[in-house]
Amino acid sequence: MKMSTISDIDKNKLPMHVAVIMDGNGRWAEERGNDRIYGHQNAITAVKETVEAAAELGIGYLTLYAFSTENWNRPKEEIKALMSLLVHAIHDEIDTLNENNIKLIVIGDIENLPVRLRKRIIWAIDSTSRNTGLNLVVALSYSGRWEILKAMQGIALDISKGKISVEELNSELFSGYLNTSNIPDPELLIRTSGEFRISNFLLWQIAYTELFFTEILWPDFRKKDFFDAILDYQKRERRFGKTSSQIKSEYSNTD
């Protein structure tokens, strides 16, 4: 099978935003007779390669699902080790982010994170805030249902204060209350490890997102695999509820 390279990709048909559910670290470690944290440690290479691939292509936004609200139910030792790993990863990669003009954005309930990690995140966000290249969005202590609930609470509060009315509420206004209010919806969602589910990720935002599933466990994911997903995306016809003939007619009218 031919290995995909960046030269195979049509730069005029790139998704503006790619989201990734990074799954399979635990199974990857267990297959090698190690504990789950070994999988998380070895996942860093996959993160680096994916970020590099997105930056090289010129993709605007890359969102990585790093830790969900449900993940707080995992064994305490695994959570503690993972939080420590995140602290060190952010510290170690900040220079690389700045050298490559990458801006860090974090979504999720960061108030629920350990103080040390929260401070490191705030520092990294500020340190990269002036970068204008790839927007690297990391979802930490995040879930789609949590985000939607928080948005509804914010809307209810503003209605009670008279800032907005019920009649004003529409999709655009609602989106403004989400963590991703200044981020375009993803056009492509990649999930690794052979699982075929969304796992409470960007539930509002992926209404018309193209889904790409791969059997590869996340620690083994590399640039070529990211390019494979982009190439698959470029073969698809995005209709947004319309028919193929409507899309073709609209496209021909723009020529």
- The string of DSSP letters for 174-236 reads HHTTSTTTTSPPPSEEEE-TT-----S-STTTTTT-EEEE-S--GGG--HHHHHHHHHHHHTS
Question: Strand, coil or helix: what is 155?
Answer: helix
In the DSSP assignment, the letter for residue 252 is H
CA distance 136 to 138: 6
Active site residue 185: no
Active site residue 182: no
Say what the alpha-carbon torsion angle 122, 128, 133, 134 is, to the nearest 10 degrees: -30
User: Which one is catalytic: 23, 42, 179, 228?
Assistant: 23
Taking CB atoms within 8 Å and a gap of at least 24, the contacts of 87-94 are: 87/116, 87/117, 87/120, 89/44, 89/47, 90/117, 90/120, 90/121, 90/124, 91/120, 93/48, 94/124, 94/127, 94/128
CA distance 23 to 160: 41
User: Which one is catalytic: 8, 34, 35, 71?
Assistant: 71
CA distance 109 to 151: 13
Residues annotated catalytic, as ranges: 23, 71
